Amino acid sequence: MKRSFCTVVLLGTVALLLASRPAYGQSGVFDRTGLIPGHGTYSSLPEESVDLFTGNLTLRYRDIFIPGPNGLNIEVWRVYNSKVLYDRPSSQQNPTVQAYPKSMVGLGWTMHMGMVHNAYSSTPVIEFPDGRRETAFPSKAVYLWSDCRITRDFLKYYCPPGEDPKLFFQNGVVWTFGNVASLPLADGSSETVYMVTRIEDPLGNFIDIEYSAADSLRTIATITDSMGREVRFIKSYSNPARLVEIRIKNYNETDDVIYSYSVDSRPPAPGFPNGYYQLQSFTPPELPPTTYDYNDGSAYNFELTRITTSYGGVLEYSYLNHNFYFNTIQLDSRVVSQKRITFNPGEQADVWDYTYPTYQGVSSGTATVQGPEYGASATHYAYESSSANRWRIGLQTSGAMSDGSSSTAITWTNYEISTTPWVVLGISMGAAKGPLVSSITESRTGDSTLKTEYSYLR
C-alpha cells in the first residue's frame, strides 16, 4: 500500500449544491447515511468519506465498471455506512438497528441500483445506491402533474396509480421502479419497496436490471445494457440470498472475470448474532482477498473496525457514543472517533482523530479532524429557534485547514418546493425547501481571495 494516493477532501465547493434531507425511518438529522451534499466531509482515501456533521463513515467501492454510450455506464457499487443504528433519544433504553440485517453483502453494506419506500404515498422516499435517502414532496409548482413529487434537490418523481414509478434527473436520465420486493428489517418485520428495473438516457440507451424471483428480497440476478453486455450475480440458496460471485465476460467474450464475496450468517465469531449477515472478504480478479473485521454485536455495536487490503495495508476505525442535540432532544449517536492506517507491515500507523460538537443551544457548531501532519475543521448549521431558518440544518457554513493554507465560507438561499412541511421528531421545520448555494468565498495562502456568487431564475 503506497502513501502516494492519500488525499484530503473538505467539501466547501460548488459540489455542495445539494442539501441535507429527511430520511425514511431516520431522524433525518444525525443518523443519515450515504454521501450528503451540503455536509462537510474529510477523507484520506479515494473510497472514504467521513461526514463531519453526523460522524458517519461511508466507504464506496465500485466493484464493476463497464463504460457505456453517452456516459451511461454499468456501475455496481458496494457501499458501507457505519450508522448501523438509529439515533436513540435519551428516553429510549436500547438502540434499534436501521441497517438492512440481511443485505446480500452483509450488515452495514448495500449493493443495489436504487429503490423507493412508500412508493405511492404523498411523501415517498427514494434510496440511492450509496444509502442516501431523499423524501419527495407534493410539488408546489402548478405546471407539474398531480401525481408528481419533487425532492429537495429538485428531482421529479412520478407515481400515477397503476403505473411503475419513475424518477427524472436534471440530465435527462430516468429511473423506472418496476420490481416489488419484501425488505426484511431488524425488528423481524418487512417492508414493501420498489426497486429500479431500468435506467434510460435521452438518447435511448438503457440498462435493465432483473431480479431473482425465488428470493423474497428479489436481489439482483442480472444487469444488461442496450449493447447486450451482461453482469451476472451468483448467490447462495439462503432466503434472502447472500452474494457469492459477480461474473462478467472478459474483453474478447471468451472467459468469465470473477469477483468473489464471502458473506456469512453463522456465529460464533466472525459471524454476527441474530443471524445478521456479515461480509468477511472480497476477492477481486488475480489478487488476494481483502478481509473485514467488525465489532461483535455486543451492546449493539456492529461497526466495521478493520480492513486488510489485497496489498497488505490495514485500515482501522474506532467509534464512540456521542450526544447530539436537536432542539432540546438529546440523541445518542455512534460516530467515528479515530482512524488508523498502516501502509506497510511493521510500520507505525498514521492516526486521525475526529471530534464533534453537541449543537446544544447554539445555531452552529464546529467539528475537527487532527491528522498525522495537519488537521481540518468544518462548521455546520444546527437546529435554530426560528422556523424560517430550520431548513438549513446540517449545511456547512465554513471550513478550514489547520495549517492556515486554505479556508472556505459558504452562504445559502432556498426555494420552497412544497407547502407540505418537513417534520423531524415531531417538530415542524417549515415548508419543504430546496437549499441552493448563494456564494462561496475561498482563500488560499499565496493567492487572492475568490468569491463566487450564484443567482437563480425563480
> In the predicted model, what is the mean pLDDT of residues 191-199?
96
Q: Looking at the whole model, is its pTM more than 0.95?
A: no
> In the predicted model, what is the mean pLDDT of residues 167-181?
96
Give the separation between CA 86 and CA 97, rounded to whole angstroms. 6
349-373 pLDDT, tens digit per residue, is 999 999 999 999 999 999 999 999 9
Q: pLDDT at residue 53 above 50?
A: yes
Q: Are 73 and 230 in contact (CB under 8 A)?
A: no
Q: What percent of the chain has pLDDT over 70?
A: 91
So what's the pLDDT on residue 31? 96
Peptide bond into 270 cis (omega under 30): yes
> In the predicted model, what is the mean pLDDT of residues 107-112?
96
Give the DSSP H/E element, type plus range, for residue 76.
strand 74-81
Give the separation between CA 248 and CA 347, rounded to whole angstroms. 37
Q: What is the largest CA-CA distance in the chain?
A: 65
Residues forming beta bridges with residue 381, ordered by sequence position: 364
The mean of the pLDDT values for the chain is 90
Q: pLDDT at residue 377 above 70?
A: yes
Q: pLDDT at residue 443 above 80?
A: yes
Number of other residues whose CB lies within 10 A of the CB of residue 189 = 8
Give the separation between CA 380 and CA 395, rounded to whole angstroms. 5
So what's the pLDDT on residue 21? 33
Give the separation between CA 281 and CA 264, rounded to whole angstroms. 10
So what's the pLDDT on residue 15? 31
Q: Are 116 and 124 in contact (CB under 8 A)?
A: yes
233-251 pLDDT, tens digit per residue, is 999 978 788 999 999 998 8
Give the separation between CA 279 and CA 265, rounded to whole angstroms. 9
143-161 pLDDT, tens digit per residue, is 667 889 999 999 999 999 9
List of residues 6+ apart from 450 with CB closer than 8 A = 441, 442, 443
Residue with cell 471468451: 254
Q: Sorting pLDDT into bands at 50, 70 and 90, what band is 253?
A: confident
Q: Are 194 and 177 in contact (CB under 8 A)?
A: yes
Q: What percent of the chain has pLDDT over 90?
A: 77
Per DSSP bridges, beta strands 166-168 and 48-51 are unpaired
Give the separation between CA 378 and CA 400, rounded to whole angstroms. 7
So what's the pLDDT on residue 309? 95
List of residues 6+ apart from 268 with CB closer than 8 A = none
427-441 pLDDT, tens digit per residue, is 999 999 999 999 999
Of 263, 268, 273, nearest to 240 by C-alpha is 263
Q: Are 429 and 393 in contact (CB under 8 A)?
A: yes
What SS3 class is residue 102? coil
> In the predicted model, what is the mean pLDDT of residues 248-268?
86
Q: pLDDT at residue 123 above 70?
A: yes
Q: Are 53 and 78 in contact (CB under 8 A)?
A: no
Q: Sorting pLDDT into bands at 50, 70 and 90, what band is 184?
A: confident
So what's the pLDDT on residue 14? 30
Q: pLDDT at residue 448 above 60?
A: yes
Q: Sorting pLDDT into bands at 50, 70 and 90, what band is 218?
A: confident
Give the separation between CA 135 and CA 19, rounded to whole angstroms. 12
- Please indicate whether residue 425 or residue 80 has the higher confidence score (pLDDT): 80
Give the separation between CA 348 and CA 153, rounded to whole angstroms. 43
Q: Are 435 and 152 in contact (CB under 8 A)?
A: yes
- b/e 377-406 (16+ beta carbons within 10 angstroms → b): bbbbbbbbeeeebbbbbbbbbbbbbeeeeb
So what's the pLDDT on residue 252? 84
